[in-house]
Protein backbone atom coordinates (compact mmCIF):
# COMPACT_ATOMS: atom_id res chain seq x y z
CA UNK A 1 0.00 0.00 0.00
CA UNK A 2 2.89 2.33 0.76
CA UNK A 3 4.19 1.93 -2.79
CA UNK A 4 0.72 2.47 -4.23
CA UNK A 5 0.40 5.82 -2.44
CA UNK A 6 3.79 7.02 -3.63
CA UNK A 7 3.17 5.76 -7.15
CA UNK A 8 -0.06 7.74 -7.31
CA UNK A 9 1.80 10.86 -6.18
CA UNK A 10 4.58 10.37 -8.75
CA UNK A 11 2.05 9.82 -11.53
CA UNK A 12 0.05 12.90 -10.53
CA UNK A 13 3.13 15.13 -10.27
CA UNK A 14 4.25 14.03 -13.73
CA UNK A 15 0.84 14.28 -15.38
CA UNK A 16 0.84 15.24 -19.06
CA UNK A 17 0.67 18.96 -19.76
CA UNK A 18 1.61 19.98 -16.21
CA UNK A 19 4.66 20.82 -14.13
CA UNK A 20 5.70 21.78 -10.61
CA UNK A 21 5.72 25.31 -9.16
CA UNK A 22 8.61 25.93 -6.77
CA UNK A 23 7.73 28.50 -4.11
CA UNK A 24 10.15 27.15 -1.51
CA UNK A 25 12.47 30.14 -1.23
CA UNK A 26 14.00 30.47 2.22
CA UNK A 27 13.31 33.66 4.17
CA UNK A 28 16.74 35.03 3.21
CA UNK A 29 16.20 34.31 -0.49
CA UNK A 30 12.68 35.73 -0.38
CA UNK A 31 14.09 38.86 1.27
CA UNK A 32 16.50 39.31 -1.66
CA UNK A 33 13.68 38.87 -4.18
CA UNK A 34 11.51 41.40 -2.34
CA UNK A 35 14.36 43.91 -2.11
CA UNK A 36 14.75 43.73 -5.89
CA UNK A 37 11.19 45.03 -6.29
CA UNK A 38 11.24 47.45 -3.35
CA UNK A 39 9.27 45.39 -0.83
CA UNK A 40 9.92 44.82 2.86
CA UNK A 41 10.23 41.13 3.71
CA UNK A 42 7.84 40.86 6.64
CA UNK A 43 6.09 37.60 7.48
CA UNK A 44 2.75 39.12 6.43
CA UNK A 45 4.14 40.35 3.10
CA UNK A 46 5.56 36.90 2.40
CA UNK A 47 2.22 35.33 3.34
CA UNK A 48 0.26 37.75 1.15
CA UNK A 49 2.57 37.18 -1.81
CA UNK A 50 2.35 33.40 -1.56
CA UNK A 51 -1.40 33.66 -1.04
CA UNK A 52 -1.58 35.47 -4.38
CA UNK A 53 0.29 32.57 -6.00
CA UNK A 54 -1.64 29.65 -4.49
CA UNK A 55 -5.07 31.25 -4.99
CA UNK A 56 -4.52 31.98 -8.69
CA UNK A 57 -7.74 30.84 -10.43
CA UNK A 58 -7.20 27.93 -12.82
CA UNK A 59 -3.62 27.23 -11.73
CA UNK A 60 -4.36 23.52 -11.36
CA UNK A 61 -4.86 23.23 -15.12
CA UNK A 62 -1.11 23.58 -15.64
CA UNK A 63 0.49 22.93 -12.24
CA UNK A 64 0.54 19.45 -10.67
CA UNK A 65 2.43 20.22 -7.47
CA UNK A 66 3.84 23.12 -5.46
CA UNK A 67 7.01 22.97 -3.38
CA UNK A 68 6.54 25.03 -0.22
CA UNK A 69 8.87 26.38 2.45
CA UNK A 70 8.11 25.40 6.05
CA UNK A 71 6.78 28.89 6.81
CA UNK A 72 4.44 28.66 3.81
CA UNK A 73 3.13 25.23 4.76
CA UNK A 74 2.00 26.74 8.07
CA UNK A 75 0.34 29.82 6.53
CA UNK A 76 -3.35 30.27 5.72
CA UNK A 77 -5.71 32.09 3.37
CA UNK A 78 -9.01 33.10 5.01
CA UNK A 79 -8.45 30.48 7.69
CA UNK A 80 -7.67 27.69 5.19
CA UNK A 81 -4.14 26.30 5.06
CA UNK A 82 -2.23 26.89 1.85
CA UNK A 83 -1.91 23.10 1.52
CA UNK A 84 -5.69 22.75 1.47
CA UNK A 85 -6.06 25.71 -0.90
CA UNK A 86 -3.73 23.93 -3.31
CA UNK A 87 -5.49 20.58 -2.94
CA UNK A 88 -8.82 22.20 -3.87
CA UNK A 89 -7.22 23.08 -7.22
CA UNK A 90 -5.89 19.55 -7.63
CA UNK A 91 -2.33 20.67 -6.84
CA UNK A 92 -0.25 18.40 -4.59
CA UNK A 93 1.56 20.19 -1.72
CA UNK A 94 5.25 19.45 -1.22
CA UNK A 95 7.92 20.72 1.14
CA UNK A 96 11.59 21.73 0.94
CA UNK A 97 13.26 19.96 3.86
CA UNK A 98 16.97 20.74 3.56
CA UNK A 99 18.52 23.51 5.65
CA UNK A 100 20.61 25.04 2.90
CA UNK A 101 24.25 24.79 1.92
CA UNK A 102 27.25 25.37 4.17
CA UNK A 103 30.97 25.44 3.43
CA UNK A 104 32.43 21.93 3.28
CA UNK A 105 35.20 21.86 5.89
CA UNK A 106 38.72 21.69 4.38
CA UNK A 107 37.37 21.91 0.83
CA UNK A 108 37.64 25.60 -0.17
CA UNK A 109 34.93 26.76 -2.55
CA UNK A 110 32.73 23.69 -2.06
CA UNK A 111 29.53 23.23 -0.09
CA UNK A 112 27.49 20.51 1.56
CA UNK A 113 23.75 20.59 2.22
CA UNK A 114 22.60 20.27 5.83
CA UNK A 115 19.25 19.19 7.26
CA UNK A 116 19.35 15.52 8.25
CA UNK A 117 19.02 16.27 11.98
CA UNK A 118 15.56 15.25 13.23
CA UNK A 119 14.42 14.83 9.63
CA UNK A 120 12.29 11.76 10.41
CA UNK A 121 10.29 13.73 12.98
CA UNK A 122 9.97 16.73 10.67
CA UNK A 123 8.72 14.54 7.83
CA UNK A 124 6.04 13.09 10.09
CA UNK A 125 4.94 16.64 10.96
CA UNK A 126 4.94 17.76 7.32
CA UNK A 127 2.93 14.71 6.25
CA UNK A 128 0.33 15.53 8.92
CA UNK A 129 0.14 19.07 7.50
CA UNK A 130 -0.60 17.71 4.03
CA UNK A 131 2.77 17.40 2.29
CA UNK A 132 2.94 14.41 -0.08
CA UNK A 133 6.38 15.00 -1.53
CA UNK A 134 9.62 16.69 -0.48
CA UNK A 135 12.73 18.23 -2.01
CA UNK A 136 16.43 18.32 -1.10
CA UNK A 137 18.94 20.43 -3.06
CA UNK A 138 22.71 20.26 -3.34
CA UNK A 139 24.88 22.54 -5.48
CA UNK A 140 28.08 21.97 -7.42
CA UNK A 141 30.33 24.62 -8.99
CA UNK A 142 32.52 23.96 -12.01
CA UNK A 143 36.10 25.23 -11.87
CA UNK A 144 39.57 23.79 -12.43
CA UNK A 145 39.40 21.97 -9.08
CA UNK A 146 35.68 21.58 -8.45
CA UNK A 147 33.55 19.71 -7.91
CA UNK A 148 35.80 17.23 -6.13
CA UNK A 149 34.71 13.61 -5.83
CA UNK A 150 34.74 14.10 -2.06
CA UNK A 151 32.24 16.97 -2.23
CA UNK A 152 30.02 14.99 -4.58
CA UNK A 153 30.09 11.97 -2.26
CA UNK A 154 29.36 14.10 0.84
CA UNK A 155 26.31 15.62 -0.82
CA UNK A 156 24.83 12.53 -2.44
CA UNK A 157 25.28 10.57 0.79
CA UNK A 158 23.04 13.09 2.58
CA UNK A 159 20.66 13.12 -0.38
CA UNK A 160 20.28 9.34 -0.35
CA UNK A 161 19.63 9.27 3.40
CA UNK A 162 17.01 12.00 2.92
CA UNK A 163 15.33 10.03 0.13
CA UNK A 164 15.21 6.86 2.23
CA UNK A 165 13.68 8.73 5.17
CA UNK A 166 11.05 10.24 2.86
CA UNK A 167 10.01 6.88 1.45
CA UNK A 168 9.85 5.45 4.97
CA UNK A 169 7.16 8.10 5.65
CA UNK A 170 5.36 7.50 2.30
CA UNK A 171 6.58 10.86 1.02
CA UNK A 172 7.90 11.03 -2.55
CA UNK A 173 11.45 12.46 -2.57
CA UNK A 174 12.66 14.89 -5.21
CA UNK A 175 16.46 14.96 -5.34
CA UNK A 176 17.98 18.14 -6.79
CA UNK A 177 21.71 18.01 -7.55
CA UNK A 178 22.27 21.36 -9.28
CA UNK A 179 25.37 22.05 -11.34
CA UNK A 180 25.54 25.84 -11.22
CA UNK A 181 25.94 28.12 -14.25
CA UNK A 182 28.47 30.45 -12.61
CA UNK A 183 31.78 30.28 -14.46
CA UNK A 184 33.22 30.08 -17.95
CA UNK A 185 32.87 26.33 -18.50
CA UNK A 186 31.80 24.87 -21.82
CA UNK A 187 28.67 22.84 -22.46
CA UNK A 188 30.93 19.77 -22.73
CA UNK A 189 32.31 20.41 -19.23
CA UNK A 190 28.77 20.86 -17.92
CA UNK A 191 27.82 17.52 -19.48
CA UNK A 192 30.81 15.76 -17.93
CA UNK A 193 30.19 17.11 -14.42
CA UNK A 194 26.41 16.62 -14.53
CA UNK A 195 26.81 13.03 -15.69
CA UNK A 196 29.40 12.33 -12.98
CA UNK A 197 27.14 13.76 -10.25
CA UNK A 198 24.18 11.72 -11.51
CA UNK A 199 26.27 8.54 -11.65
CA UNK A 200 27.52 8.84 -8.08
CA UNK A 201 24.08 9.92 -6.82
CA UNK A 202 22.30 6.89 -8.25
CA UNK A 203 24.95 4.53 -6.89
CA UNK A 204 24.28 5.99 -3.44
CA UNK A 205 20.50 5.81 -3.84
CA UNK A 206 20.85 2.13 -4.69
CA UNK A 207 23.05 1.60 -1.64
CA UNK A 208 20.29 2.99 0.60
CA UNK A 209 17.54 0.85 -0.98
CA UNK A 210 15.69 3.86 -2.38
CA UNK A 211 12.89 2.83 -4.76
CA UNK A 212 13.71 4.77 -7.92
CA UNK A 213 10.20 4.40 -9.32
CA UNK A 214 9.01 6.45 -6.34
CA UNK A 215 11.65 9.16 -6.79
CA UNK A 216 11.88 12.22 -9.06
CA UNK A 217 15.14 13.79 -10.24
CA UNK A 218 15.20 17.59 -10.40
CA UNK A 219 18.20 18.54 -12.49
CA UNK A 220 19.86 21.36 -14.33
CA UNK A 221 19.83 21.30 -18.09
CA UNK A 222 23.30 20.85 -19.59
CA UNK A 223 24.34 24.44 -20.27
CA UNK A 224 27.58 26.39 -20.64
CA UNK A 225 28.59 28.77 -17.86
CA UNK A 226 27.50 32.40 -17.88
CA UNK A 227 30.92 33.44 -19.18
CA UNK A 228 31.20 30.58 -21.64
CA UNK A 229 30.15 30.38 -25.25
CA UNK A 230 26.35 30.44 -25.55
CA UNK A 231 24.81 27.23 -26.89
CA UNK A 232 21.94 26.84 -29.34
CA UNK A 233 18.70 25.41 -27.87
CA UNK A 234 19.13 22.31 -30.05
CA UNK A 235 22.58 21.69 -28.56
CA UNK A 236 21.27 22.18 -25.02
CA UNK A 237 18.50 19.68 -25.72
CA UNK A 238 20.85 17.13 -27.28
CA UNK A 239 23.46 17.30 -24.50
CA UNK A 240 20.83 17.28 -21.75
CA UNK A 241 19.05 14.19 -23.05
CA UNK A 242 22.35 12.46 -23.85
CA UNK A 243 23.25 12.91 -20.18
CA UNK A 244 19.85 11.75 -18.91
CA UNK A 245 19.83 8.59 -21.02
CA UNK A 246 22.43 7.14 -18.65
CA UNK A 247 19.81 7.15 -15.86
CA UNK A 248 17.83 4.02 -14.91
CA UNK A 249 14.65 3.57 -16.95
CA UNK A 250 12.72 2.75 -13.76
CA UNK A 251 13.19 6.32 -12.43
CA UNK A 252 9.85 8.00 -11.64
CA UNK A 253 10.56 11.02 -13.82
CA UNK A 254 12.67 14.10 -14.50
CA UNK A 255 11.89 17.75 -13.78
CA UNK A 256 14.15 20.62 -14.76
CA UNK A 257 15.13 23.63 -12.68
CA UNK A 258 15.26 27.06 -14.27
CA UNK A 259 18.09 28.48 -12.16
CA UNK A 260 20.48 30.73 -14.04
CA UNK A 261 18.42 30.90 -17.22
CA UNK A 262 16.21 33.72 -18.43
CA UNK A 263 12.49 32.95 -18.33
CA UNK A 264 12.46 32.76 -22.12
CA UNK A 265 15.43 30.40 -22.33
CA UNK A 266 14.05 28.06 -19.66
CA UNK A 267 10.79 27.73 -21.60
CA UNK A 268 12.46 27.51 -25.02
CA UNK A 269 14.90 24.81 -23.91
CA UNK A 270 12.13 22.76 -22.30
CA UNK A 271 10.11 22.97 -25.49
CA UNK A 272 12.98 21.85 -27.74
CA UNK A 273 13.89 19.01 -25.38
CA UNK A 274 10.37 17.59 -25.50
CA UNK A 275 9.62 18.39 -29.11
CA UNK A 276 12.71 16.45 -30.16
CA UNK A 277 13.14 13.74 -27.55
CA UNK A 278 9.99 13.11 -25.49
CA UNK A 279 9.27 9.85 -27.33
CA UNK A 280 12.88 8.69 -27.07
CA UNK A 281 13.19 8.54 -23.29
CA UNK A 282 11.50 6.17 -20.79
CA UNK A 283 10.22 8.87 -18.43
CA UNK A 284 8.42 12.20 -18.58
CA UNK A 285 10.50 15.40 -18.63
CA UNK A 286 8.74 18.52 -17.34
CA UNK A 287 9.47 21.65 -15.31
CA UNK A 288 9.89 22.53 -11.66
CA UNK A 289 10.46 26.26 -11.96
CA UNK A 290 10.70 28.94 -9.30
CA UNK A 291 11.97 32.23 -10.70
CA UNK A 292 11.09 31.06 -14.20
CA UNK A 293 7.42 31.28 -13.21
CA UNK A 294 7.50 33.92 -10.46
CA UNK A 295 9.76 36.70 -11.74
CA UNK A 296 7.16 38.73 -13.67
CA UNK A 297 4.21 37.99 -11.31
CA UNK A 298 6.28 39.28 -8.38
CA UNK A 299 6.98 42.57 -10.17
CA UNK A 300 3.28 43.04 -10.92
CA UNK A 301 2.21 42.11 -7.39
CA UNK A 302 4.77 44.51 -5.90
CA UNK A 303 3.25 47.33 -7.97
CA UNK A 304 -0.14 46.61 -6.38
CA UNK A 305 -1.82 44.69 -9.17
CA UNK A 306 -2.78 41.28 -7.79
CA UNK A 307 -5.10 40.36 -10.66
CA UNK A 308 -2.47 41.07 -13.33
CA UNK A 309 0.10 39.16 -11.29
CA UNK A 310 -2.15 36.10 -11.16
CA UNK A 311 -2.88 36.32 -14.88
CA UNK A 312 0.85 36.48 -15.60
CA UNK A 313 1.52 33.46 -13.37
CA UNK A 314 -1.20 31.53 -15.19
CA UNK A 315 0.27 32.55 -18.55
CA UNK A 316 3.79 31.48 -17.58
CA UNK A 317 2.42 28.19 -16.23
CA UNK A 318 0.50 27.58 -19.45
CA UNK A 319 3.52 28.37 -21.64
CA UNK A 320 5.71 25.93 -19.75
CA UNK A 321 2.97 23.30 -19.64
CA UNK A 322 2.84 23.46 -23.45
CA UNK A 323 6.64 23.37 -23.60
CA UNK A 324 6.60 20.21 -21.46
CA UNK A 325 4.81 18.54 -24.37
CA UNK A 326 6.98 20.19 -27.05
CA UNK A 327 3.92 22.05 -28.30
CA UNK A 328 4.87 25.69 -27.86
User: What are the residue boundaries of the structural domains of the chain, listed by start?
Assistant: 94-320
- How far CA 101 is from CA of 7, 126, 136, 140, 233, in Å, comes to 30, 21, 11, 10, 30
DSSP string, 183-221: SS--HHHHHHHHHHHHHHHHHHHHHTT--GGG-EEEE--
Annotation marks residue 218 as catalytic: yes
Whole-number pLDDT of residue 1: 45
Is 176 one of the annotated active-site residues of the chain?
Answer: yes
Alpha carbons 271 and 287: distance in angstroms, whole number: 10
Can you give the pTM of this predicted structure?
0.97
From the list 73, 67, 72, the residue with the least C-alpha distance to 126 is 73
Q: CA 272 → CA 239, 254, 275, distances in Å?
A: 12, 15, 5
Residues 6+ apart with CB under 8 A from 167: 2, 6, 173, 210, 211, 214, 215
Which pLDDT score, from 0 to 100, does residue 145 have?
95
Supply the Cα-derived Rg of the chain in whole angstroms.
19
> Which listed residue (70, 96, 218, 319) is catalytic?
218
Q: Give the C-alpha separation, 122 to 255, whole Å.
A: 25
Taking each helix axis from N to C end, the angle separating 306-323 and 291-302, rounded to the nearest 10 degrees, works out to 170
- Domain boundaries 94-320, CATH class: alpha beta
The active-site residue out of 176, 178, 204, 238 is 176
pLDDT for position 165? 99
Q: Give me the residues of the chain with pLDDT under 70, please.
A: 1-3
Under 8 Å between Cβ of 117 and 79: no
Amino acid sequence: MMGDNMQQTVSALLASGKGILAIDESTSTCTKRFQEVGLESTEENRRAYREMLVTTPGLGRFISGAILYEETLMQKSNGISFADVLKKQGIIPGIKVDKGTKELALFPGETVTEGLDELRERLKKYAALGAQFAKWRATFSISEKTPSCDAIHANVHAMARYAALCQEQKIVPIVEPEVLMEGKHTIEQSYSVTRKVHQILFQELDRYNVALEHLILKTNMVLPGYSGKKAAPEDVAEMTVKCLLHLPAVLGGVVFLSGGQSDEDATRHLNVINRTYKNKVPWRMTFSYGRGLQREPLKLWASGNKEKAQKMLLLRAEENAKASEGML
